[in-house]
Chain A
Amino acid sequence: MSVERHYTTQPGAPLVELHNVSRRFLRQRDRRRSFQETFIQFFRRRRSPADEFWPLQDISFSLLPGDCLGVIGPNGSGKSTLLKLITGILEPTGGSMAVRGRLSSLLELGAGFQPDLTGRENIYLNGSIYGLSRRQIDTRIDAIIDYAELGDFIDTPVKHFSSGMYVRLGFAVAIHTEPDLLLVDEVLAVGDMAFQRKCLKSIHDFRYQGGTLLLVSHSLDAIQSVCNRAIWMDEGMIQAEGATTDVILQYQRHVAVLEDGKRAAVSLPPSGVGQRWGSGNVQITQVDLLGAAGVPQSVYFTGQEMSIRLRYQSEAYVEAPTFGLAIYHDSGVNLFGPNTDLGKLSIAGIEGQGAVVYTIPQLPLLDGNYTISVAVVNHNDTETYDFQDRAYSFQVYPSSRRDGYGIVTLQGKWSFHPQESVTVISPQPQVQVSRPT
């Protein structure tokens, strides 16, 4: 184990360099907290290897000046431990590492604030925790106060602050320390929308000014938009490393496969959230979501083929039923509600068992959770035989050919016409609505 730390950057050398770094923890965290336990421990055998676990194993990577590295992975994959090693809060158990340059971490905003001191006094205290001298803070204090948007509250003890103000002040101090390397751990999830946007903008600015960044986040969008490289960690090891888009995609694929496995085990039960009603003359007995090969699956990628199969059963002969479904986004938006009537599929009558299939050749949905309602009604929609409201769900991940953000892809095409003169169409202030008379 060797650790090297310098407070200045060295030209050409990586800011952070890790070689086969490992870290061990002992599972029994309360061990030997008192003399009594030490005494008991003395008579026991040495601890068994089962008591230890390794949140980090053989981690190697380096971070060059100007890089922005995103770290993704599920909870408990060792991301935070990695940051703690780099900041120096924890020491590695094995391997060698070097850190060159001043670093500042946005691990916990406002850690170290003294509740009885005013905002201004806490800026000095917090700044010095980050290693700034009094003079350095003097030159920045106005910018910090301005940034934190605290107004007159700056001379109030911070115990009277709202939690938002607290975090704003913490972020303002941390971002103004002008470090060579900024470590960010999920802080973008704090504050209101406006402040979150401001944080993100500051992080972007920091990056454009040549700062080096290490960002840990569950928000893949944030990683995608800020980072040029990414690491996917799982079970204390680096699973993938490289360009952000590639790593994110691999991670999402992995999660998709895992979730699909979990869901297949329970074979799409009605989720229970939805209500079911109807006369029951025709019953929808089963709903299957099928992939291209006709295999049931509950996780799809944008652009894949997807079929929704409704199995029905009716005791007696029912004339001209209409089958329909509706796809909802998690946000509650009804995206599309096709039915056999509008789809010009005429069914003369049904008796016994059968199935109706709705096929989407290229799923236009982007990432998110979706739920499906299914229904069967009589010809002129006066009697509902069976209605299952948002009883089935599936998930979509964006494919590598993602062409935009949002809920759906409209599959439009871009074109570029540099020589063409563009006629500007002035927007119409009034919209003509023809009223039926």
Chain B
Amino acid sequence: MVRRLRDLARYRGLVRNLVVSELKTRYKSSALGFVWSLLNPLGMMMVFTLVFGVLWPNNQIEKYPLFLLCGLLPWNFFSASVNSGMNSVVSNGNLIKKVYFPREALPIAAVLSQLVNFLLAFIVLFAVLLIFRSHLSPWLWLLPVIIVVQTCFTLGMVLMLSTLHVFYRDTAMIMEIVMLAWFFLTPIFYSISQLPPYYELWGMNLNVHRILYILNPMASLINMYRDMLYYGYRTDLDFFLRTAITALAVLAAGYWFFIRYSSRFGEEV
């Protein structure tokens, strides 16, 4: 594993060039170019605000566009990374069969290029913050750390999924459904406090809020983003640590899984 990391460090230029070329090709043939990174979240925000702010009568969340954006941007980063990262190995099959390089460069580059997009979208978020005069958390400096934690979690997922996808092409189909379910089970366009606190299942009394946070790191992450940017609250330290450790564990497991099977990519893709 140490050897593989050294190998990867030698090829960091490759990761950077892959990110740059990914970003360049994404916007090269569109008229507005990178402006789309800003327009896309704005457009989505308007759609959701229209549906859940206007068409939905009993919505009690104030500053709804800001609330929404705090959840939507991290979610978009996550879901776009999963989609492009999962395919990154298979779609570069031709390259993998011809040249040797550390294969993890591909999913890493896919996630990092989405990260760049995510950071650009923060321009929109801060603009909306100013419009709604939200009071910023004194713990705002923690925001980059949270972004790093989310990137680790995302990368771990992507490493695992991209490996699986090489061997089982069903992965993409399954993930389509999983991501849809995940989207609705994450408090993005609703607040977790709107859910019933308890649910009876086979005689057990389940704490819905707790379970959601424990089983869904994305829920925890989005909650932390909202603490920083929407509620202006310092996030709970134990809560933060638990999420960070989960993310690192997912990353380590994903990386291990990836390098365990990546030597067979050359014949399987």
- Give residues of chain B (79-100) contacting chain A, Cβ–Cβ below 8 Å: 92, 94-100
In contact, A125 and B28 (Cβ under 8 angstroms): no
**With an 8 A cutoff between CB atoms, is B146 at the interface?**
no
Q: Does B266 contact A (CB under 8 A)?
A: yes
For B6, the closest partner residue in chain A by CB is A7
Q: What chain B residues lie within 8 Å of A114 (beta carbons)? A: 21, 25
Q: Please tell me if the beta carbons of A89 and B266 are within 8 angstroms of each other in the complex.
A: yes
Instruction: Give the interface segment out of A131-139, A264-272, A298-306.
Output: A131-139
Evaluate whether A111 and B169 lie within 8 angstroms (CB atoms) in the complex, with A89-B266, A116-B24, A117-B25 already known. Answer: no
A-B contacts counted at CB < 8 A amount to: 84
A25 to B267, CA, bound (A): 9
Residues of chain A within 8 A of B25, CB atoms compared: 114, 116-117
**Given A89-B96, A111-B99, A121 and B14 contact (CB-CB distance below 8 Å):** no
Query: Is B101 in contact with chain A by the CB < 8 A criterion?
Result: yes
Contact present for B168 and A35 (CB under 8 Å): yes
Q: How far does the alpha carbon of A91 sit from the alpha carbon of B14 in the complex, in Å?
A: 22
Q: Which one, A7, A112, A121, contacts B99 given CB within 8 A?
A: A112
Residues of chain A with a CB closer than 8 A to B94's CB: 108, 111
Q: B100, A89: Cβ atoms under 8 Å?
A: yes
Are B168 and A89 in contact, with the CB atoms below 8 A?
no
User: Which chain A positions have C-beta within 8 A of B264?
Assistant: 91
A418 to B252, CA, bound (A): 75
- The reply on A261 being an interface residue by CB < 8 A is no
- Contact present for B99 and A132 (CB under 8 Å): no
Whether A33 and B169, one on each chain, are in contact in the complex, defined by CB atoms closer than 8 angstroms, is yes
Chain A, residues 313-338, CB within 8 Å of chain B (1/0): the string is: 00000000000000000000000000
With A and B bound together, what is the CA distance between A117 and B28 in angstroms? 9
Known: A90-B266, A131-B10. A34 touches B168 (CB 8 A): yes
The reply to whether B18 and A90 form a contact with Cβ atoms under 8 Å apart is: no
Instruction: Assess whether A257 is interfacial by the CB under 8 Å rule.
Output: no
Contact A34 B169 (CB under 8 A): yes
Contact indicator A116/B168 (Cβ below 8 Å): no
Q: Does A309 contact B (CB under 8 A)?
A: no
Interchain nearest-CB distance for B93 vs A (Å): 11
Q: How far is the CB of B3 from chain A (nearest CB, A)?
A: 9
Q: Which of B11, B13, B99, B170 contacts A107 (CB 8 A)?
A: B99
Residue of A nearest to B22 (CB): A114
B17 within 8 A of A: yes
A34 CB contacts on chain B under 8 angstroms: 168-170
Number of A residues near B (Cβ < 8 Å) is: 33
Q: How many Å lie between the Cα of A112 and that of B169 in the bound state? A: 22
Within 8 A of A (CB), among B182-215: none
Whether A111 lies near B95 (C-beta < 8 A) is yes
Is B59 part of the contact surface with A, judged by Cβ < 8 Å? no
Q: Does A219 contact B (CB under 8 A)?
A: no
Q: Pick the contact of A128 from B17, B96, B263, B267 — CB < 8 Å? A: B17
Distance in Å from the Cβ of A183 to the closest Cβ of chain B? 10
Residue from A84, A128, A132 within 8 A of B266 (CB atoms): A84
Residues on A with C-beta less than 8 A from B132 are: none
Contact for B14 among A87, A129, A157, CB less than 8 A? A129
Answer yes or no: A124 CB below 8 A from chain B CBs: yes
Query: Distance (Å) between the CB of A324 and the closest chain B CB?
Result: 55
* B10, B24, B95, B167: the one within 8 Å of A129 (CB): B95
- Give the docked Cα–Cα distance between A32 and B99 (Å): 25
Contact A88 B29 (CB under 8 A): no
Could you say which residues of chain B place their CB within 8 Å of the CB of A157?
28
- Contact of A388 with B by CB under 8 A: no
| A114-B21, A125-B18, A128-B14 known; A90-B267 Cβ under 8 A | yes
Q: Decide yes or no whether A130 CB sits under 8 A from chain B.
A: yes
Q: How far is the CA of A91 from the CA of B103 in the complex (A)?
A: 14
Q: Which of A33, A111, A117, A124 contacts B98 (CB 8 A)?
A: A111
The 7 tightest CB contacts between A and B, nearest first, are A88-B100, A128-B14, A89-B266, A108-B98, A111-B98, A116-B25, A128-B13
Extra contacts, 17 of them, besides A89-B100, A134-B17 (Cβ < 8 A), are A7-B10, A36-B170, A38-B168, A84-B266, A88-B100, A90-B267, A91-B266, A107-B98, A107-B99, A112-B95, A114-B25, A116-B25, A130-B101, A131-B10, A131-B11, A132-B13, A134-B13
A-B contact pairs, 15 of them (CB 8 A): A32-B167, A36-B170, A84-B266, A89-B266, A108-B98, A116-B25, A117-B25, A125-B21, A128-B13, A128-B16, A129-B14, A129-B95, A129-B99, A130-B101, A134-B13
